[in-house]
């Protein structure tokens, strides 16, 4: 049966589509964006972040996508393919982010000691300061979340998300 735009499928009522805006996936997406925006805002104001990076963050030139590197880059460095896989991104998209972060002085590429054909992405000293600012901002954003929803709700949310994600 072919549907026309004026004929909704059986069981899909036109007058009540609130579920489209309030389902769990959409709420999780909004919450994640809000959390990431708050973290970036806090990082922009962190004294440990070099002024040039703070200015980029304050002008929304650094996005949550750039935070993928901060979240997923191993302390000993990572191969680009491993970094992309951990972040759930294509190798090409991660390569573009690494190029930007290299230009900003957050990371550098160096030879992999295990395989000379491969390059690893590693934090620079500036990148490690950025990582510390990220840690501080996440801790503050989590504390703000707990204050906003209450300790018990925050605990249940964290446990539920941890169970769901694994």
pLDDT at position 2 = 66
Q: What is the pLDDT of residue 95?
A: 94
Report the pLDDT value the prediction gives residue 48, as an integer from 0 to 100: 80
Count the Cβ atoms, other than its own, within 10 Å of residue 106.
26
Q: What is the pLDDT of residue 4?
A: 61
From CA 124, how far away is CA 49, in angstroms rounded?
13
What pLDDT is recorded for position 62? 75
pLDDT 10s per residue in the chain (166 long)? Answer: 566 666 666 766 666 777 777 888 999 999 998 998 899 889 888 888 777 777 777 677 777 777 778 889 999 999 999 999 998 999 999 999 999 999 989 999 999 888 888 899 999 999 998 899 999 999 999 999 999 999 999 999 999 999 998 8
Confidence at residue 38, expressed as pLDDT on a 0 to 100 scale:
92
pLDDT at residue 123 in the model: 96
Residue 94, judged by CB atoms within 10 A of its CB (0-12, 13-18, 19+), counts as buried
**DSSP string of the chain?**
-PPPTTSPPTT--TT--THHHHSHHHHHHHHHHHHHHHHHHHHHT-TTS-HHHHHHHHTT-S-HHHHHHHHH--TT-EEHHHHHHHHT--HHHHHHHHHHHHHTTSEEEEE-SS-TT-EEEEE-HHHHHHHHHHHHHHHHHHHHHHHHH-HHHHHHHHHHHHHHH-
Q: How big is the chain by its Cα radius of gyration, in Å?
A: 20
Beta bridge partners of 78: 121
């Amino acid at each position: 049966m072919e549907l026309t735009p004026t004929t909704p499928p059986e069981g899909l009522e036109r007058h009540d589509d609130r579920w489209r805006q309030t389902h769990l996936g959409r709420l999780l997406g909004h919450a994640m964006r809000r959390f990431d925006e708050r973290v970036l805002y806090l990082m922009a104001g962190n004294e440990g972040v070099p002024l040039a990076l703070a200015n980029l963050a304050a002008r929304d030139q650094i996005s949550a996508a750039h935070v993928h590197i901060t979240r997923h880059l191993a302390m000993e460095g990572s191969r680009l393919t491993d970094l992309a896989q951990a972040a759930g991104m294509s190798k090409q998209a991660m390569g573009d982010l690494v190029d930007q972060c290299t230009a900003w002085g957050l990371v550098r590429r160096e030879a992999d000691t295990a395989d000379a054909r491969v390059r690893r992405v590693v934090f620079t000293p500036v990148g490690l300061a950025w990582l510390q600012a990220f840690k501080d901002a996440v801790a503050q954003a989590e504390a703000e979340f707990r204050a906003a929803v209450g300790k018990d709700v925050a605990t249940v949310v964290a446990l539920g998300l941890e169970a769901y994600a694994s």
